[in-house]
Structure 1
Amino acid sequence: MARIAPDKIDEIKNAVNIADYIGQTVQLKKQGQNLFGLCPFHDENTPSFSVNEDKQIFYCFSCHRGGSVFKFVQELDKLPFPQAVKKVADYAGIPLELDDAPQHREDPVVKRQKEILKLTGDFMHHLLMNTESGQAGLDYVQKRGMTEATLKQFGIGYAPDDRELLHTFLSKQNVSEDEMRASGLFVERDDGSLHARFTNRVMFPLRDSLGITVGFSGRTLTTDKRVAKYLNSPETKIFSKGDLLFNLDEARPEVRAGAPFYLFEGFMDVISAYQAGVKSGVASMGTSLTRSQVQTLERLGKQLVVAYDGDDAGQHATTRALDMLQGSQLDVSAVVFPGGKDPDEFIKQNGAEQFQAQLQHVLTPTAFALHELSRGVDMSNDHDKFAYIDQALAEVNKVQDALERSVYVKQIAERTGAPEDAVTAKLAELPTYHAQPQQDNTATYDEPAPAPADYGDDGLVPPPPTDDPFDQTVPVSVAPAAAPAPLGRLGVAERELLSYMLQDAEVTLAVSATPRDWATDDYGQLIARWLDFSSGVQLEVGMTPNYQGFLDQQTESDAALISAALNLLLPPADDSTAPSLLQVINREELRAHLQDIKSQLRDARQVGDVATQNRLSVDYFNLMRQLQSER
C-alpha cells in the first residue's frame, strides 16, 4: 500500500477544516459547542451527526461512527487510507502523488473479465431503461414495485429475446471470442459459434463484497414451465455461486454500523426490503446456503436474522437453515411473516413501517422450533398435545442455559395448558443431550420500529432537539445501529482517563510515570496504545498532544470509541485527575478479579476440590485486603 510521510499527513490535515469538508455533504448547523446535521451513513430525521471544529473530529450519536476528516472520507467513499488522504489533499490544493508500485497487481485476465461484465451490465441496464425492446422487462419490474432509483441502485437490466445482440455489442467493444467464452455470458454451439446464455430475462448483476459485478442472474419473463425461472451465470474465474451473497456490498456498511444481517430467500425480497428501509438484507444464490457464505457473514457481522417466506416451504427452509447455523459464531434468530406471506408480499400489503416492526419480533432458534412444532397441533386433543410436549422438550433439552430452559418450559406450559412444574419435572427426566459435531464444510437446503437511542448519563453530549417545530419524527430503522455495550464503572473511568490523556500532556505524563498492565477491554487497550504512541513524542506540561495522528492509525471501531471519549463534557484536569481515576480503575479491576475468584470457588466446591478451594480462599482474602486499602 502507498505510504505517505507523517509530516505530509499533518500538512494536509492542518490545511483543511473538517467542518468545511463535511459541509460539502452534510448541512451543518451550530448547536452549543458542536455543529450538527443529518448523518450521511444512515437514514434519520433528527440530526445526531456532530462535528467538533476545535478537536477536528466527527461523531454520530446514533450509528457511533467517528474520527478525523480522513476517517470520514474512508467511510463515505469506501476508500483505503492513502486514497482518502489523497482526496482531502486534492480538496486542499496540496500536491500529493501516491506510489502504487508496492500494491498487489490484479491478474489481467480477472481484471478483463470484470471489465466485460461491467460493460454488459451497463448495456443491459440501458436496454431496460431506454429502449423499446426493454419495455417488457420494464413493465415487469414496475409491476413488482421497483422504483427508478432502485433499478439504478441494483443495476437491474434486461436481456432481450435476441441471441446475437450481446455478441454484436461486445464485438464492437473489442472483446475477443475467447474472452466471451470465459465470461459465462454465452453458450457455445457445436460449430463453435456463440449465442447469448440469457434471453428474455430481467437481469440482476451479482456483485462481490466490493460492489464489482462478477456474474448475473436472470429472471425469465416467459410463462413456459419448461424454462427455469432463474438462471445464474456458470462458475467462472471470478464467480463462484457458493461463495457469493446478493447485496453483500450494500449490506456491509449497515452491518458495520450495528445492523444485523437479514437472510432472505430471493433477490426480490432483498430489493423490496431495501426500498422499505432495510438495507442489510442478503440472499444466497438460488437454492443453497453454503458454509462459505456463513463464514463470510461471521467475518463481517455479529447477528443474523433468517427472514424466509411465511408459507410451509419457507418455514421448513428456515428450520433447515437454523439447523445448519448451529454452532455458528453469529447470534442467530428468525422472524415469521404471518399469513404465509413472503417479505415482498408483506411489504406490499402492510407497508414499510409494519415490515420494519415485524422484523423486530425475532425468535431464537429454540423458540422458532417450538413455534414450528406447534403449527397445526390441536391442543384440545390430549394425544396431540402430549406428542407436542415430548417433541418440544426434546428441543429444550438441547439448551444448556438454565434460565433459557425455564423460559421455554413456561412457553410450553402456557401453549398447552399443562402445569409448569409438571413440564419441568418431565424435562428433568430426559437424558443429558450431547451435541453432535458438524462434519460437513458445506451444507445446503432445498428451496421449496425501535425506540430512539438512550444516551444515558455517561457524560456524552446527546444531539440537540430540532429547531423545526413540525419535525417531531423518530428515525425509522429496522436495524438501528447498535449502541456500544453499556460501560461499567471500569469502562467509564478508562474512557474519562483516555479523554484527559489525549487532550492534556500532563495527564499522559502522570499515567506513564506509573507503569501498570492495562485491561484488555476496548478503552484499556486504547490507553496502552496511546502511551506507546506518545512515548515517541516529546510531551511537555501545558501542551495539547497531537492525538490526530494517533486517531488516524486506528480501526473504524476504535476511531469511533476515541471520538466518543473526546466528546465527553469533563471539568478541566488538575493534579488529582490522573491519581483519582487510576484509583477507580484499580479498584474496579480488583472487584472484577474477586468476582472471577468467587466463580472459581463455586466450581471447586461443586466438584469437591478442597485444595483449589483453600488456594482460592487465600487469594480472595488477599484481594479483599487490597480492595479495602484502595478506598
Structure 2
Amino acid sequence: MRSLYFKSYSILVGDLLSWIKEEELKAIRARADIVDILSRYITLNKQGKNYTALCPFHDDHDPSLFISTDKQIYKCFVCGAGGDVFTFVQHMEQISFPEAVAKVADLIGFPLSVALPSKTKKADPNEKYYDILQTYIEFMQYELNSEEGAIAYQYLKRRKVNEDILKRFEIGYAPSSAQSLRFLEAKRFAMDDLEDIGLVSDHYATFQDRFVIPIHDAHGHPVGFTARRLNDEDNVAKYINSSQNKIYEKGKLVFNYHRAGRFARKSKRVILVEGAMDVLAFEKADIHESIACLGTACTDFQCNLIKQLHVPVTVCYDGDRAGQNATYKFVKMAIKEHMDVMIVKNTTSKDPDEIFDQGGKEELEAFVNRTISPVDFLFDYLLFQYNLENYEDKKAYAQELFEAVNLTCSEFEKAAYLTRIKKDTGFDFTHVLPSVQPTISKHKSSVYFKPIVRPLDGRLHAEQDALNMILLSKDASNTFKSEIGFFKDERCQQLSLYCYDIYRQQDHIDLDSLLARINEEDIRMYLLNLWNDPHRLMTYDDTYFQDILQKIKECTVQEQIDQINQEIEKIADPIEKARLATSKIQLIKKRNVLQKKGG
C-alpha cells in the first residue's frame, strides 16, 4: 500500500531507501536534538532533564506535551500525539515524511546526498499581480539611487537606514505620477491589472514623491506598499498604504512576517510593533524578529498567524493612549488564545525608532527587555479605565482582573494577585479557586508522567508483545511464522511483514532501517509508540516469548469457541447444533490443555 503523499512524488516503499541513504537517516537522527528542533516551533519548559509544553496538536491549556531528552521523543498525554523529530516536523509543517527528513536535515545543516523530488505546484491565479508588483519594486529601487531620488535616499540615511536594510527590505522611491506611468506603460501592463492592485487610480500613480516599503504576505509574495512623505507638510498624509484590493487585505497581513519567522524561532520570541518604521528601528539594532500588524488593531487572522510562530510574543507598542489601547486589545486576544505574551513597559512617549536614534542599539535592547506580564499590564491599564470610587466600576475592574489571573497564572501566582485585587477593591476571589496543595517529591527537579500499566490480557496486548520480540530476534520471527502464522491486528501484521523483509537480508533490526521502509504514516507512528513504550523489554527473552505465544493460541481457541456459540444460537437444526456442540467440546479441551501448559 502506498500513502497519498508518496504517490504525489511517485516514490514507492522500496524507493525511499534509494532517495535517502540509511546511514544518512541515522546521522540526521543522531545530530538532530529534539529540544533544539521542537523549540523552533513551540515554547518548551525545562522540568529536570526533560521538558513540557503546550501541545500544538490540540487545544491545550495546561502543558500536556512531554519531551524526553534521553529517548529523543515527544508524547502528549491528552491527545496521544507522539513520535520523534521527523514526525513532529511532518505534522507541524503538514508535509510528507521525506520532506520532514529533508527539513530536519536543513535545520541542522546536514547536506543530503540526493535532493528530494519537488512537487508540481498548483498555478497561483495572482502570479501576474506578484510579477507586476515585483517589477515596480525594482523600478523604485532604481529610482532611489537616481538623481531624482536623492532627497529620499538622504532622508533614509539621516534615519540611519543602512544599505543592507535598503536591500533586504527592497525600499525604493516613487517618483512623479507621470514617470511611474511611463515605466508601467513601457512594460505593457494592462491598466485594469494596475488598477486592480492599487498602483493606479483614475490614471494617476497612487504613490508619488515618497519612499516606499513593500509589504509581503506570509509566503513572501509582494502584495502592496506603505509609503512615507519626505516633507513635513500638514496637508499631506504622513503615511499612505495600498488600498484594499484583490491581493491586499490589511487585516490578513503581518509586515515582515515572512522574514522574521526564522529569527523568532532562533531567539525564542517575536516582537510585535505598530508599524513598518518600528520594524526598521529594530533592524538597525540587528534585532530581526520584529513584525507589525499595519495598524494598531490586530485582527483574529493576524493573531492566528502570530500564534503559528509558536514563540512568546513581546508587545512593543507606543506609550501613548492609542498604543496602550492597542496593547490592551491584543492582551485580551492573546489571553483568549492562550498565547505566551509579555508587554514592554513603555512609560515614555517615544517609539522604537526614536529610542534607537537617541540611545542606539544598547538602549533599544534594554528597552525591549523591560517587560511585564499581561496581568501586571492590566493592573496598570485598567486602573485608568475604571473609577474605583464607583461600586459597579470597582466590581467590573475586579472581575476583569480575576478572569485574567485565573486564565494565565500558576496557582502560586494567583494567590499573590488575588491578594492584590482584594487590597485594591475589597473583593475576595480566593474562595472561588481550589486550594493549592503542596506536592512533596524526592525528585523536585523532574516531572514524571506515570504511564498506564497494561496487563497482559487479550490478544491485542499479547500480539504487541510478540511483535516486540520479533523486533529483537530473528529466531522469534521464524518461530512466530511457524507456530502462529499471522497477527490478527492489522498494524501488527503490516509491521511484521516489514520485519520479515529485513530479516531476509540481515540478522537484526534497527529503528532507522525499519522506519525507512515504512510508507504508511499510521504504521510508522504505531512503531514509534511501541518502540518507546516504557514497559518494553529491550532484550529478547525466550521464556517470555513462549508465554506470549501460549497466550495468543489460547485467545485463538477462545475466539473459535465464541464463534461456535454464536452459530449455535442462530441455528434451529438439531443435527447441526449437535455437530457444533461436539466441535465446541474439542476446542474447550484444547484450551484447557493450553492453559495447563501456561501454568
Which bracket does the TM-score occupy, shorter chain normalised? 0.5 to 0.7
Pairing of 1:37-116 with structure 2 (within 5 A)? 71=100, 74=103, 89=114, 100=120, 103-107=121-125, 110-116=126-132
Contact preservation (8 Å) 1:163, 1:196: yes
> Which of 362, 372, 378 matches 2:381?
372
TM-score by length of 1: 0.55
Judged with a 3 Å threshold, the aligned counterparts in structure 2 of structure 1 residues 338 and 400 are, in CA distance, closer, same or farther, namely: closer
Q: Deviations over 1:242-268 (max 9, x none)?
A: 111101112333455583332211111
Identity %: 23
Judged with a 3 Å threshold, the aligned counterparts in structure 2 of structure 1 residues 230 and 286 are, in CA distance, closer, same or farther, namely: farther
Pairing of 1:56-455 with structure 2 (within 5 A)? 71=100, 74=103, 89=114, 100=120, 103-107=121-125, 110-128=126-144, 130-160=145-175, 162-188=176-202, 194-255=203-264, 259-301=268-310, 303-353=312-362, 355-373=364-382, 393-399=398-404, 401=406, 407=413, 410=416, 426-428=427-429
State the distance in 2 between where 1:172 and 1:235 align.
26
State the distance in 1 between where 2:113 and 2:424 align.
65
Q: Does 1:549 align with 2:564?
A: no
Q: Deviations over 1:45-75 (max 9, x none)?
A: xxxxxxxxxxxxxx9xxxx987999657547
Residue 508 of structure 2: SS of its match in structure 1?
Answer: coil
Judged with a 3 Å threshold, the aligned counterparts in structure 2 of structure 1 residues 553 and 117 are, in CA distance, closer, same or farther, namely: farther
Give the C-alpha shift of residue 182 in structure 1.
Answer: 2.0
**1:174 counterpart letter in structure 2:** R
State the distance in 1 between where 2:164 and 2:378 align.
39
Residue 125 of structure 1: SS of its match in structure 2?
Answer: helix
State the distance in 2 between where 1:312 and 1:200 align.
31
Residue 223 of structure 2: SS of its match in structure 1?
Answer: strand
| Number of residue-to-residue matches in the alignment | 440
Q: Deviations over 1:477-509 (max 9, x none)?
A: xxxxxxxx9775769xxxxxxxxx99x942899
Give the C-alpha shift of residue 116 in structure 1.
Answer: 0.4
Structure 2: unaligned runs, 5 residues or longer: 1-7, 41-71, 73-83, 90-96, 434-442, 453-466, 481-489, 545-599
State the distance in 1 between where 2:139 and 2:198 align.
16
Residue 372 of structure 1: SS of its match in structure 2?
Answer: helix
Partner in structure 2 of residue 618 of structure 1: none
**1:171 counterpart letter in structure 2:** E
Judged with a 3 Å threshold, the aligned counterparts in structure 2 of structure 1 residues 549 and 321 are, in CA distance, closer, same or farther, namely: same
Contact preservation (8 Å) 2:251, 2:301: yes
State the distance in 2 between where 1:125 and 1:16 align.
47
State the distance in 2 between where 1:170 and 1:139 align.
26
Residue 282 of structure 1: SS of its match in structure 2?
Answer: strand
Judged with a 3 Å threshold, the aligned counterparts in structure 2 of structure 1 residues 405 and 124 are, in CA distance, closer, same or farther, namely: same
Contact preservation (8 Å) 1:298, 1:329: no
**2:240 counterpart letter in structure 1:** L
Q: Deviations over 1:310-358 (max 9, x none)?
A: 2343223312332344522423432223433322333444444554454
Contact preservation (8 Å) 2:14, 2:517: no
Contact preservation (8 Å) 1:397, 1:427: no
| Larger of the two Rg values belongs to structure | 2
Residue 203 of structure 1: SS of its match in structure 2?
Answer: strand
Judged with a 3 Å threshold, the aligned counterparts in structure 2 of structure 1 residues 367 and 178 are, in CA distance, closer, same or farther, namely: same
Structure 1: unaligned runs, 5 residues or longer: 22-32, 43-58, 79-83, 91-95, 189-193, 378-382, 433-455, 459-484, 492-500, 515-527, 567-571, 580-631
Give the C-alpha shift of residue 186 in structure 1.
Answer: 0.8
Contact preservation (8 Å) 2:498, 2:517: no
State the distance in 1 between where 2:449 and 2:430 align.
40
Partner in structure 1 of residue 20 of structure 2: 13
Q: Which has the bigger relative contact order, CA under 8 A and spacing at least 6?
A: 1
Give the C-alpha shift of residue 368 in structure 1.
Answer: 0.4
**1:155 counterpart letter in structure 2:** E
Contact preservation (8 Å) 2:398, 2:425: no
Judged with a 3 Å threshold, the aligned counterparts in structure 2 of structure 1 residues 126 and 397 are, in CA distance, closer, same or farther, namely: same
